[in-house]
Amino acid sequence: MVFSALDRLINRDPERRALRALADRTKHVKPHARPDIPLQIVVDLSRELTGGRYAALSVTDEYDHTEGFFVSGLDKDQMQRLHTPPQGHGPLGSLRYDGKPVRYDDVSEHRKAFGFPSAHPEMQAMVGVALWANGVVRGALYVTDRQDGQPFDEDDERMLTTLAHHASKVIEEDWY
Q: Identity (one letter) of the amino acid at 125? A: A
Q: How far is CA 41 from CA 28, 38, 70, 71, 104, in A?
A: 12, 5, 9, 10, 24
Q: Are 52 and 150 in contact (CB under 8 A)?
A: no
Structure-model confidence comparison of residues 170 and 107, the more confident one: 170
Enumerate the β-bridge partners of residue 72: 55
Structure-model confidence comparison of residues 166 and 80, the more confident one: 166
pLDDT in tens, 122-165: 777 889 999 999 999 999 999 999 999 999 999 999 999 999 99
> How far is 98 from 134, CA to CA, in rounded Å?
15
Residue 162: predicted pLDDT: 96
Architecture of domain 2-175: 2-Layer Sandwich (3.30)
Residue 40: predicted pLDDT: 95
Q: Give the mean pLDDT of 109-128.
A: 67
Contact partners, residue 84, CB within 8 Å, separation at least 6? 117
pLDDT in tens, 2-13: 556 555 555 678
Contact partners, residue 92, CB within 8 Å, separation at least 6? 86, 102, 126, 128, 140, 142
Confidence of residue 175 (pLDDT cuts 50, 70, 90): confident
Q: Identity (one letter) of the amino acid at 137? A: V
Longest dimension (CA), the chain: 56
